[in-house]
Structure 1
Amino acid sequence: MTKRITPSKHLSRPAHLPVESDVLRDLLVLAAEHGLDPQALLDKAQVGVSAEKVLEGSWRSSFSHADFARFYAQCVWALDQQSSHQERRAPIRKLEFDLLCHCLITCRDLRGAMARLFDFSTMLHPRMGQQRLVMQGTRAVFIMDSLRAVRNESAYLTDLTGLSSLRRLFGWLIGERLELAYVEMCYPPHLEEKTLSHLMPYPVRHRAPHNALVFDADFLDRPIRRTPAELEQWLSHFPFDVTQPQSKDAPITETVEAMIRSALERGAPTPSGRTMAAQLSISVGTLNRRLAAEGTSLRSAKQHCRIALAEVLLGDPRLSIGEIARRTGYSDYTALSRAFRAARGTSPSAWRDTSNNV
């Protein structure tokens, strides 16, 4: 069984850093305990590592956000499908979740979006847990009742993912991080603290009467600030990329780098300034000025993302430097080496040797 650890009161926000192998291993253990094939999950997610090495702890490299998001999606969908089959109900599909998001983006404020969500969940009952809003003084409590007959580790991860997804969706709709006082889960803790804080970076109170998000009631009157055009970009990674920026007022560098990382990790061409400006509903000139005001540029942001991804890929000894150059958008080994040395003061090969000896 996975180790039960009560999380600390103060959990760190997930940074834009590679995902540690401990987080992946914790989820692989949970999946294996419920009859899933860990290696099959990794293979379906196109994460080229050995499940055996991760589980035994001999694989200590980090994983890119894209790799982890794909694995996380495969793991949660498989576990939810398994529990849905046991409870004789159809699981919620990604298409249905996307349709829910399209319904919410036309609301006036967060309160209205939640009311529409309640209607949507009623329509999908009993496949989707029932939700309601309760006021407790100056705090709002968004309750998501679990309808699961069996409340085991599998159900825990699925319900935690649901709460995490809705918290990030609500914050994204209003263009700012929805800061939580705490989270309630109607389960005992089933994940290591590091894994829990990566998936839900707020204090979690276990063994509560229901699953809930508790936050300042003032958020309910925040207007919906996003547009349908922005939603299409968001949905390409939602709900399993837990690092997607939520704040519309956050440094634009954060959003731009998220777009660049997404393209690189999918093997797609890095988006042009014109493409990113269109997705942000601003002009190319405004994009460049805002980046300059933050002390960077589009060129620097692309370079930063390419080098960061190269560092992650260098942790995989099966990949040649030439292949890493291709995956990070450089023309060849020489181009990557020149850029890497300029950024890190050493060559990719030397960096790999040093990292493997740590």
Structure 2
Amino acid sequence: MVQRKSSTHYVSVLLRHARSIGLDVKKILEETGIPVDFGEAEEAWINNELLANLVKAIWSGTNNETFGLDPTPMRIGTWALACEFMLGADTLGALFRKGERVLSYLAPDSAGLKIHHEGSYVVVMPQVYLGERDPDRFLIEFMTALWHRFPSWAIDERIPLKEAFFSYPEPDHSHFYEELFHCDVRFQQSACGFMFHERYLKRRIARTLVELEAWLRNSPADLLYMPGRENSIQVQLKASLIEIAKESTRYPAFESLCRDMAMSPQVVRRRLADEGTSYQQIKDAVRCETARSLLLNPENSIIDVALGTGFSESAAFSRAFKKWTGESPAHYRSSRLET
């Protein structure tokens, strides 16, 4: 089974907070199975289940679903009760209306929900504590992700976001936001939240109360999960292009492949740069592998191989092939076919 990954940035944030409010961090690490050195790591990746264990440990240690970050506690079980109430809705629109209503009764004033329309888009704004007790803005990230991922789970379909926005200056880890929300992200706005098209409000609720119990048990792991971290981006892109090359000599636009992976082009470019490559390099590698395979069949002429790898004439193909391999196509073929 593929392991999902989350950033150790969140481990560092939660452990710093746990230490600041007097929780026994050494005991928490022992109970959750998180390596001690992960408590200081900001740019590594951790099994999602370990992060979920940490979230639950701090919930238990504080008896507070806002981790003790909000001065006004939210009692353990509040969110589960709200989810049970919301899941009684028929549609996504009704679910959000129920969410507004139930939190107005159950949650502290700093932990509600506001929803309104802007043209054909729905604006969802979690009401979350943003004071000095939470300098890393963990609570707003967590709750904003929750208000996107729980409704998506409820209709069994990821709701594509037009934009996410936040009221504070861009943090050092801002690149995580695009991976969490898969959309353009803006900072120093008048409020915090996200937007999606109103047509999703008509989606029917697909989940049951029986399924809710399992979702709540696993949800801490899923909320801060960053899709795509279980495999390198270049591996995913290369696999897609190899399959496409079997059927066509034309490669799709980069933006189209990003949509297929449910990730923004900006995130994919940055991830590729982290891995020391680019889309063009991956595409060239696939074309080179395809050309090598075609050249080993003596019935294919050089122009056939050129056309089969997306070139319109043999001279351009020969120049590219020599750049990739250091050999001309003719020399590559003759040296491999010699007996």
TM-score per shorter chain, which class? Answer: 0.5 to 0.7
Asked whether 1:68 is paired with 2:54, we answer: no
- What does 1:196-215 align with in structure 2 at a 5 Å threshold? 196-215=177-196
Q: Give the match's secondary structure for 1:135.
A: strand
Quote the residue 1:6 is aligned against: none
Among residues 180, 183, 194, which one is paired with 2:161 in the alignment? 180
Letter in 2 for 1:160: E
Among residues 12, 29, 32, which one is paired with 2:16 in the alignment? 32
Quote the residue 1:280 is aligned against: none
Quote the residue 1:145 is aligned against: 127
Distance 1:228 1:101, change over 3 A: same
TM-score if structure 2 supplies the norm length? Answer: 0.55
Q: How far is 1:48 from its partner?
A: 3.9
Q: Which has the higher contact order (CA 8 A, sep 6+)?
A: 1
Distance 1:192 1:170, change over 3 A: same
- What does 1:57-96 align with in structure 2 at a 5 Å threshold? 62-74=45-57, 80-84=66-70, 87=71, 89-93=72-76, 95-96=77-78
Asked whether 1:236 is paired with 2:217, we answer: yes
Quote the residue 2:85 is aligned against: 103
Quote the residue 1:160 is aligned against: 141
- Give me the identity figure in percent: 16
Quote the residue 2:112 is aligned against: 130
Q: Deviations over 1:108-164 (max 9, x none)?
A: 11111111111111103535523222111111101223355547424x211110110
Tell me if structure 2 keeps the 8 A contact 1:121–1:130: yes
Q: Give the match's secondary structure for 2:20.
A: coil
What's the RMSD between the two structures over aligned residues? 3.5
TM-score if structure 1 supplies the norm length? Answer: 0.53
Tell me if structure 2 keeps the 8 A contact 1:145–1:210: no
Question: Aligned residue pairs: how many?
Answer: 221
Runs of 4+ in 1 over 6 A off after TM superposition: 243-246
Tell me if structure 2 keeps the 8 A contact 1:121–1:129: yes
Q: How far is 1:191 from its partner?
A: 4.7
Q: Deviations over 1:284-322 (max 9, x none)?
A: xxxxxxxxxxxxxxxxxxxxxxxxxxxxxxxxxxxxxxx
Tell me if structure 1 keeps the 8 A contact 2:12–2:41: no
| Structure-2 separation of matches of 1:172 and 1:123 | 24
Distance 1:27 1:67, change over 3 A: closer
| Structure-2 separation of matches of 1:38 and 1:107 | 41
| Structure-1 separation of matches of 2:55 and 2:67 | 14
Distance 1:125 1:221, change over 3 A: same
Distance 1:169 1:146, change over 3 A: same
| Structure-1 separation of matches of 2:206 and 2:226 | 14
Asked whether 1:50 is paired with 2:29, we answer: no
Distance 1:19 1:215, change over 3 A: same
Q: Give the match's secondary structure for 2:99.
A: helix
| Structure-2 separation of matches of 1:100 and 1:191 | 33
| Structure-1 separation of matches of 2:120 and 2:131 | 33
Letter in 2 for 1:101: C
Q: How far is 1:25 from its partner?
A: 4.2
Q: How far is 1:40 from its partner?
A: 3.4
